[in-house]
Amino acid sequence: MYDFHIHSIFSDGELLPAEIARRYKVLGYGAIAITDHADNTNLDFILKSTVPALDELSEAFGMKIIPGIELTHIPPAMLDGLVARAKELGAKIIIVHGETTAEPVAPGTNAQAVKNPDVDILSHPGKITLEDAQTARKNNVYLELSYRSGHNATNKHVASVAVEAGANMVINSDAHAPVDIMTKEDIMRVAREAGLSEKNTEMVVSVNPKTILRSI
Mean pLDDT of 5-22: 97
pLDDT over 90 at 216, yes or no: no
Mean pLDDT across 190-199: 97
What pTM does this model have? 0.97
With pLDDT > 90 as the criterion, what percentage of the chain qualifies?
Answer: 100
Rounded average pLDDT over 1-25: 97
Q: What is the mean pLDDT of residues 121-141?
A: 98
CATH of span 2-215: 3.20.20.140
- pLDDT tens for residues 73-94? 999 999 999 999 999 999 999 9
pLDDT of residue 28: 95
Query: 78 and 106 in contact (C-beta within 8 Å)?
Result: no
Residue 195: is its pLDDT beyond 90? yes
Domain boundaries defined on the chain: 2-215
- In this prediction, residues 191-214 reach a mean pLDDT of 97
Q: In what order do the strands lie in the sheet with 2-6?
A: 2-6, 31-38, 64-71, 93-97, 121-123, 142-146, 169-172
Q: Average per-residue pLDDT in the chain?
A: 97
User: How many Cα atoms are found within 13 Å in the side-chain-facing hemisphere of 55?
Assistant: 8
Q: Residue 141: its pLDDT value, please?
A: 98
Tens of pLDDT, residue by residue over 23-73, are: 999 999 999 999 999 999 999 999 999 999 999 999 999 999 999 999 999
Mean per-residue pLDDT, 186-212: 97
As a whole number of angstroms, the distance between CA 69 and CA 47 comes to 8
pLDDT tens digit string along 149-183? 999 999 999 999 999 999 999 999 999 999 999 99
